[in-house]
């Protein structure tokens, strides 16, 4: 079973896997299904019994892109925060309390979405609520004097986040630790929060400022 993880970036922007969470389906896919139901209800249809979030991977990303555009215009700040977290964007640790509170608000505000065939709602189930609250608590506990940023990795099925922090040294025939500052391509966006407004800066732009 895949897991998700919380990565912390130190003051040199080197990444450290801080905590793993068993069963990655308990956070990001739940968020995706809830948001798809909330914002694109008329366009979602049952597809061979799969979860709605899986439809996004079957249409070349068109549905994901449409949802991204809608959520980015939403007045529900908690939806925007959880959406960006689930897409592995980089957050500043200075905003940890705001982010943690909005994760909790996401759970409380979206309990009536994505009703299952058995009549249950995901954000009313104890084990799913517990995962969202656990992640919020772990973010709230980040030592921002030691770790300047963090990123939530939705699944260990790829090495997307890990690749930001290591590179292969052919001469030494081994991987060496690197910094996100050294990455020369756009791999993520920094989520800059000011007065309930969000600005996005691609990683290269962030380090050029």
- Reported as a single tens digit per residue, the pLDDT across 115-154 is 888 899 999 999 999 999 999 999 999 999 999 999 999 9
Q: What is the residue extent of each domain of the chain?
A: 3-180
pTM to 2 decimal places: 0.91
Beta-carbon contacts of 199 under 8 Å, excluding residues fewer than 6 positions away, are 192
The HSE-up count of residue 44 (CA atoms within 13 Å, CB side) is 24
pLDDT of residue 3: 94
pLDDT of residue 172: 64
- Reported as a single tens digit per residue, the pLDDT across 18-59 is 999 999 999 999 999 999 999 988 776 544 344 555 555 555
CA angle 91, 92, 97 (to 5 degrees): 95
Higher pLDDT, 62 or 34: 34
Rounded distance between C-alpha atoms, residue 101 and residue 30, angstroms:
18
Handedness of CA 130, 133, 138, 141 (dihedral sign): negative
Q: Average pLDDT of the chain? A: 89
């Amino acid at each position: 079973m895949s897991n998700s993880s919380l990565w912390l970036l130190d003051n040199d922007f080197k990444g450290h896997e801080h905590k793993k969470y068993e069963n990655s389906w308990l956070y990001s896919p739940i968020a995706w299904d809830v948001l798809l139901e909330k914002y694109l209800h008329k366009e979602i249809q049952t597809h061979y019994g799969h979860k709605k979030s899986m439809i996004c991977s079957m249409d070349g990303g068109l549905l994901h892109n449409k949802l991204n555009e809608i959520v980015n215009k939403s007045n529900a700040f908690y939806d925007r925060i959880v959406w960006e977290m689930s897409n592995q964007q980089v957050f500043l640790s200075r905003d940890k309390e705001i982010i943690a509170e909005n994760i909790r608000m996401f759970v409380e505000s979206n309990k009536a979405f994505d009703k299952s065939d058995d009549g249950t709602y995901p954000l009313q189930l104890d084990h799913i609520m517990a995962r969202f609250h656990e992640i919020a608590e772990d973010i709230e506990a980040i030592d921002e004097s030691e770790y300047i940023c963090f990123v939530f990795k939705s699944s260990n099925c790829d090495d997307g986040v890990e690749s930001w922090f290591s590179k292969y040294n052919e001469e030494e025939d081994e991987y060496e630790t690197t910094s996100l500052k050294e990455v020369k391509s756009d791999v993520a966006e920094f989520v800059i929060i000011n007065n309930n407004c969000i600005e996005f800066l691609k990683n290269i732009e962030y380090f050029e400022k």
